[in-house]
Amino acid sequence: MTQRPDDDEVLDRAEKAAADIRSSIISGQFTPGSRLSEQALGDALGVSRNTLREAFRMLTQEGLLVRRPHAGVIVAVPSLASIIDIYRVRRMIEVQAMRAAPPRHPAGRQLASAVEAALAARAAGDWAAVGTANMEFHRAIVSLADSARLDRVYANVSAELRLAFGIIDDPEYLHAPYVDRNASVLRAHEEGRSGDAADELDAYLIQSERTLLAAYARRDRDAAR
Amino acid sequence: MTQRPDDDEVLDRAEKAAADIRSSIISGQFTPGSRLSEQALGDALGVSRNTLREAFRMLTQEGLLVRRPHAGVIVAVPSLASIIDIYRVRRMIEVQAMRAAPPRHPAGRQLASAVEAALAARAAGDWAAVGTANMEFHRAIVSLADSARLDRVYANVSAELRLAFGIIDDPEYLHAPYVDRNASVLRAHEEGRSGDAADELDAYLIQSERTLLAAYARRDRDAAR
DNA sequence: ACACGAAAGATCGTTCAACAACTTCCCTCC
DNA sequence: GGAGGGAAGTTGTTGAACGATCTTTCGTGT
């Protein structure tokens, strides 16, 4: 399902380490601001310091890690500015991809199956799976643009976004309201109403941003005690 | 002028090496497809193989280098697909940034001075400087969107584009036609006609893409003898 | 002459050890 | 309780080493 036999999936150890760290960050095991020691993490992942440093370089460029000279790398700490910026990029890419989407694009299948998966997961009460399906839905939207570079940019932004999602611990609150909206966007797209689909998506993203910003402000206030 | 005292410009050796290699690629000293040996290049830049590898990792993520497992890295070879993709990204970002540009944005000054620089350079017959001013003009357009992430993405795409420009050896042919169009876009922007500015820019980019694709096809045909 | 295949050579992938430069932490002193 | 200073720990960077893998060369057979 997730395999891509045509793609050259020969990962070297640095790439594997980067993938490991990335998923640890996204899953919340490494919390924002926490320091990653080269020695300790290298031992844990079974790679040398040099190799780990290559992984750090990649993740730093992706914005998931931040380097502080001579003081190690830390997991990036989402800020109000970064959340706003991420949504700016999302809106620019997703809305335009949807608006210009050709009718029978192959990615349409992926959109549909992501919506199906989200509905099924919601019925089962599996909110984590709802979240995964939701992310997949938006990834598929971007792939409507048929641009390898946009896909890559979006993958990065998406990882940063999940990092920011970490400030909300309730996945239901985070993803539940959007399952039906996804379905509505999909319907508009399938019926050839690309403009409607794009407009709905835009409103959707604006609201999603507001929700996240509000949660951030709330947590910030609480953290200040 | 190019200094940014507020920015943390403490470059470690890997970043310096990456910057060196980047400019060598952009300037055409390292031609597409040529192989970069770790040993030789490390000696030339005065860095160890491990450090150079970190630089390679960054440049590979930027799309300027391509890793072939166990066979070293080569300078990325522009393809028809990559040119098309780069322009797709440019249009998406630049046109929308221009369309949504607020009236008195600080970057407006940069737009104006880039146009001035291009005019002066053209009058002096310095086509390389015209090219630099042209790239700066577009960078300023993107910065109208006030998005750190878009700025970053554009910087990458811009470097890839310059790599593709390398297939045209005549900078006059490459940049001359666009000086006046830049000025026209600027005028529309300054007069508050953002829509017009965006439309002109769109047409501009489409034509620029055609020119480059034509040059590519021509060179491809010639290369095949 | 040319295709094929195997051995030799070169390069990559990765680790380890070492050391200077720099931070951080802790302890002492005022 | 805060300032200062030193010890301990980490990062930045290098050089050497070695197995794995690719490239080139060379020889052989048709």
What's the farthest any 2 CA atoms get from each other in chain B?
A: 56
Q: pLDDT above 90 covers what percent of chain A?
A: 79
From A148's Cα to the closest Cα of chain B, the distance in A is 7
B49-96 pLDDT, tens digit each: 999 999 999 999 999 999 999 999 999 999 999 999 999 999 999 999
Please report the ipTM that was assigned to this predicted complex. 0.89
Nucleotide nearest to B37 (CA to C1'): C11
CB contact under 8 A, A96 and B93: no
Taking the CB of residue B4, how many other CB atoms lie within 10 A of it?
7
User: For residue B5, is pLDDT > 60?
Assistant: no
Rounded Cα distance between A181 and B14, Å, is: 46
Of A58, A88, A150, the CB nearest to B89: A150
Q: How many CA atoms lie within 13 A of B117 on its CB side?
A: 16
Find the CB nearest A92 among B14, B54, B96: B96
C-alpha distances in angstroms, B109 versus A59, B4, B134, B140, B178?
A: 34, 17, 15, 9, 19
Residues B8-62 pLDDT 10s: 567 899 999 999 999 999 999 999 999 999 999 999 999 999 999 999 999 999 9
Specify the pLDDT at position A221: 75
Q: Are B57 and B67 in contact (CB under 8 A)?
A: no
Tokens at A191, concatenated: 């019926």
CB A145 within 8 A of CB A184: no
Distance in angstroms: CA A73, C1' D12: 13
Q: Is the pLDDT of residue A225 over 90?
A: no
Residues from chain B contacting residue A81 (CB–CB below 8 Å): 148
Closest residue, by C-alpha, to the C1' of C23 = A71
Shortest distance, CA B126 to any CA of chain A (angstroms): 33
pLDDT band at A5 (very low <50, low <70, confident <90, very high): very low
User: In order of start, what are the domains of chain A with their CATH numbers?
Assistant: 13-75 (1.10.10.10), 80-224 (1.20.120.530)
Given an 8 Å threshold on Cβ–Cβ distance, is A61 in contact with B63? Answer: no
Contacts of A153 in chain B (CB under 8 A): 89, 153
| SS3 sequence of A190-207 | HCCCHHHHHHHHHHHHHH
Interchain CB contact of A86 with B (< 8 Å): yes
d(CA B150, CA B73): 27
pLDDT tens string A95-112: 999 999 998 899 999 999
Bin A193: left if φ > 0, else alpha if -120 < ψ < 50, else beta: beta
Is residue A18 less than 8 Å (CB to CB) from chain B?
A: no
Q: The sheet that has A35-36: what strands, in order across it?
A: A35-36, A73-75, A65-67
B47 and chain A in contact, CB less than 8 A: no
Q: What b/e sequence results for A171-192 when a residue is b if at least 16 CB atoms lie within 10 Å of its CB, and e otherwise?
A: beebbbebbebbbbbbebbeee
Name the nt closest to A49 by C-alpha to C1'. Answer: C15
Task: List pLDDT tens digits, range A45-62.
Answer: 999 999 999 999 999 999
Report how far residue B220's alpha carbon sits from residue B9's, in angstroms, rounded to the nearest whole number: 41
Q: Look at residue A58 and give its three-state secondary structure.
A: helix
Q: Is the pLDDT of residue B193 over 60?
A: yes
Q: Which residue has the higher pLDDT, B184 or A171?
A: B184
User: Does residue B138 have a pLDDT over 80?
Assistant: yes
pLDDT tens per residue, range A161-208: 999 998 887 778 888 888 999 999 999 999 989 999 999 999 999 999
Confidence of residue A156 (pLDDT cuts 50, 70, 90): very high
The structure tokens listed for B117 are 């620089």
Share the mean pLDDT of chain B.
Answer: 91
